[in-house]
A and B are shown apart, each in its own frame.
Chain A
């Protein structure tokens, strides 16, 4: 639940177009081409915007999870 809240905060802080692309692809299951048509962007832009969103989320999250020892669980072999 806490993670959900953190996640929502990160999504809210995304630049508007980036957030919109993220939501349309994730929640509405739209393909890049469809999103590009809806938002009047190039597929290239859609692809990059999603990548930016994923990167921001990916970079913000792990620091939250570390204390819970998930990395230790997964990587017990050295």
Chain B
């Protein structure tokens, strides 16, 4: 048997996709070779190890205990056991009767505890309190959510979430721009509502940009995968893979009168799926997320859009006095530089004159 074949069998076993013949073949391999058995053991151990670094529901001991119980219930049916012949069995989605009894017992225990403490407010809050974090222009913020997820909030943005993340879903509403690093929890999908999109997370890091005064809502995926649904067209689902970016037009529907509804316009495409631009082969230099490193960056963007980014970054007002200048495109990366340094740098390439007066920048021919 080749090394390649051996590892294929191991991977099939770990994922639960191995046929009985494949399992038998692997068993005979490892019973003949202690070295192979060791390697297989090791992979099983790695595969079954859960991330202990993320702690869900940090609140009090009671909630943690409850969480542990419910984890046991929801545990994927991966089990590590040693059979008669000494082989290691990794069984998935098994339907053995004793599992059923074990689960029933655990459920019963949970119910008993629930009944015993019905006076606890935490469990029965029907109206859960919401946390709102906002940033002003010129400032950014880093937040940790109740499940350990991290959110970097860019300037002039707001995020709303349940104080406890107590529902089936972990929900967040975003206005503005944020970079998310979502903690793993496959039992509680993480959903972000932003400008008419619902972004369901499949364990990952990504950037969402949804300012009300901009034309589009943009989602950029860095690692993992996300599934995006347009709120009014629930049959339209798009899945983003790493280094893909989705732009959806923002429109305010005249009938509902609130932001977030997306309407179809004849001339321009409603959605564009494209690749994220890199500066080099290093993924940490993605343009769209440079802001999380305190770096102002734009590439081939119209002066009008650049001006808006600058307004939020430095908390100033930028006026482009000459219409014809608005369409010129600029690229730049600025780390730790002042407003006047940035404007001067742009001017060197750009063919305009400018004046800065306290918090107002005027750009003219």
Contact yes or no, A29 B34, CB < 8 A: no
Distance between A16 CB and nearest chain B CB, rounded to angstroms? 6
Select B202's contact among A26, A28, A53, beta carbons within 8 Å: A28
B184 at the interface (CB under 8 A from A): yes
Out of B8, B38, B46, B224, which one reaches A51, CB within 8 Å?
A: B8
Which residue of chain A has its CB nearest to the CB of B53? A4
Contact string, A11-49, partner B, CB cutoff 8 A, digits 1/0?
000001000100111111101100000110000000110
A58 touches B225 (CB 8 A): no
The answer to whether A20 and B241 have CB atoms under 8 Å apart is yes
Query: Which residues of chain B come closer than 8 Å to A25, judged between CB atoms?
Result: 15
- How many residues does chain A have at the interface if contact means C-beta atoms less than 8 Å apart? 30
Task: Give the complex CA separation of A2 and B181 in angstroms.
Answer: 22
**Cα distance, A28 to B203, chains bound together (Å):** 8
From the candidates A23, A50, A62, name the one contacting B39 in the complex (CB within 8 A): A62
Interface residues on B, range: 20 to 34
Is A58 in contact with B7, judged by CB distance below 8 angstroms? yes
In whole angstroms, what is the CA distance A26 to B50 when docked?
10
Question: Is B243 interfacial (CB-CB < 8 Å)?
Answer: yes
Question: How would residues 1 to 41 of chain B score, 1 for a CB under 8 Å from any chain A CB and 0 otherwise?
Answer: 00110011011101111000000000000000010001101
* Docked-complex contact A16 and B243, CB < 8 angstroms: yes
| Cα distance A38–B203 in the bound complex, in angstroms | 14
How far is B10's CA from A20's CA once the two chains are assembled, in angstroms?
18
Interface residue B105 (Cβ < 8 Å from any Cβ of A): no
User: Would you call B15 and A32 a contact (CB within 8 A)?
Assistant: yes
Counted as pairs of residues, one from A and one from B, with CB atoms less than 8 Å apart, the total is 76
Across the interface, do B4 and A20 meet the contact criterion of CB distance under 8 Å? Answer: no
* Contact A29:B14 (CB < 8 A) given known A54-B43, A58-B7, A61-B46: no
Within 8 A of A (CB), among B139-174: none
A65 within 8 A of B: yes
Which residues of chain B are within 8 angstroms of A74 by Cβ–Cβ distance?
A: 34, 38, 41
Would you give the shortest CB distance from A26 to chain B, in whole angstroms?
Answer: 6
Encode B175-188 as 1/0 by CB contact (under 8 A) with A: 00000000010100
Given contacts A23-B224, A24-B202, A38-B225, contact A58 B239 (CB under 8 A): no
Selected contact of B38 from candidates A28, A32, A75, CB within 8 Å: A75
The answer on a CB contact under 8 Å between B241 and A39 is yes
Tell me if B42 is interfacial: C-beta within 8 Å of chain A.
Answer: yes
B76 proximal to A (CB < 8 A): yes
Say yes or no: A62 contacts B38, CB within 8 Å. yes
Name B's A-contacting residues (CB within 8 A): 3-4, 7-8, 10-12, 14-17, 34, 38-39, 41-43, 46-47, 76, 184, 186, 202-203, 224-225, 227, 239, 241-243
User: Can you report 7 residue pairs joining A to B where beta carbons are below 8 Å apart?
Assistant: A24-B202, A26-B14, A31-B15, A38-B202, A47-B12, A55-B11, A58-B43
- Which 10 A-B pairs rank lowest in CB-CB distance, beginning with the nearest? A55-B7, A54-B11, A51-B8, A51-B11, A50-B11, A25-B15, A75-B34, A29-B76, A27-B203, A58-B39
